[in-house]
Amino acid sequence: MYDAIILAGGENNEHLTKFSSQPYEAMIEIAGKPMVTFVADALAASLQVKRIFIMGPILQLKKCTFPKDTILLEGGRTLIETIQLGIKALGHENKVLIVTADIPLLTPDAITDFLRQCDEVEADLYYPIVSKEINNKCYPQSKRTYVRFKDGTYTGGNIFLVNPAIVPQCLTVAERLINNRKNPFKLCCLLGWGFVLQFLLGTLSLTKVKERVEILLGITGSVVQSSYPELGIDVDKPSDLELVRTTFSFRI
């Protein structure tokens, strides 16, 4: 079993303030509940998750109803600082699940499948991807950022399994990668100009990217191909908010 850290400190961006007055994205209401509560409930329902830590604005989070024994902690000034604080609070060096608070469609099955695949490979960092074909089949109205590889066209997930021991050595590069995760071209620039050319020609392979990231971060990585788009449908623009609200209206 794994402990999980939910990153819930992101401020409501300019695209969503017109649709919700909540100061933090995690607190935006979906079907009458703060978005972060759906993520916590999904984690609690997974048999592979033990403790749940939620990092963010304590005063706002205390107003929410979370699964029993959920631990609330104040987040840091940046995403990387928040991850550091969360890992320090764990009290151990076992692998930890890191999840963003803006994926309310997340399901226990999606979490279990991801962790099952992670258990099959030994690595320091596990990152899920979902094919464009699967994403469009399940959520045709979803507008995602895709990257065309030699192996296929994929979008990334918002859930990671991490070996805490690698965090200190990866901070600078990891922050740059995270900040540019929505821009495939900038990501390729970080990896090197050879990757930019391969990206533009559509000849870039998943294996080559994984190997380059491993070298940059000094770690071993694993790319997990998931059949659950819910891992990556995050709410950061109006069309995303409309999608998840509509989805939940059909579920109720």
Residue labelled with tokens 């740059």: 176
Q: Which CATH number fits the domain that encloses residue 208?
A: 3.90.550.10
Q: Long-range contacts of range 179-188, CB-CB < 8 Å, 24 or more positions apart? A: 181/156, 182/145, 183/145, 184/145, 184/146, 184/147, 187/147
pTM of the model: 0.87
Nearest-10 crossing angle of helices 193-201, 206-217: 160
Distance CA 231, CA 11 (A): 21
Domain that holds residue 235: 2-251
Q: Which residues of 25-58 are buried (b: 16+ CB within 10 A; e: fewer)?
A: bbbbebeeebbbbbbbbbbbebebbebbbbbbbe
Q: How far is CA 91 from CA 3, 7, 68, 157, in A?
A: 11, 18, 20, 26
pLDDT at 215: 78
Query: pLDDT digits over 21-68, tens only?
Result: 778 888 989 888 999 999 999 999 999 999 999 999 999 999 999 999
Which residue spans within the chain are E strands per DSSP? 2-7, 29-30, 33-34, 49-56, 71-74, 96-100, 125-131, 147-149, 152-156, 159-162, 221-225
How many domains, the chain?
1
Better pLDDT: 214 or 15: 214
**Other beta carbons less than 10 A from residue 4's beta carbon:** 27
pLDDT at 10: 83
pLDDT of amino acid 237? 85
Nearest Cα residue to 142 out of 243, 5, 37: 243
Among the ranges 7-11, 118-122, 150-154, which has the highest mean pLDDT value?
A: 118-122
The per-type count for the chain, helices as H runs and strands as E runs, is 10, 11
Beta strand 147-149 pairing with 71-74:
unpaired
221, pLDDT greater than 80:
yes
Nearest to 52 by CA among 119, 62, 42: 42
pLDDT digits (tens, 9 = 90+) for 91-140: 888 999 999 999 999 999 999 999 999 999 999 989 899 999 999 999 98
Averaged confidence pLDDT in the chain: 84
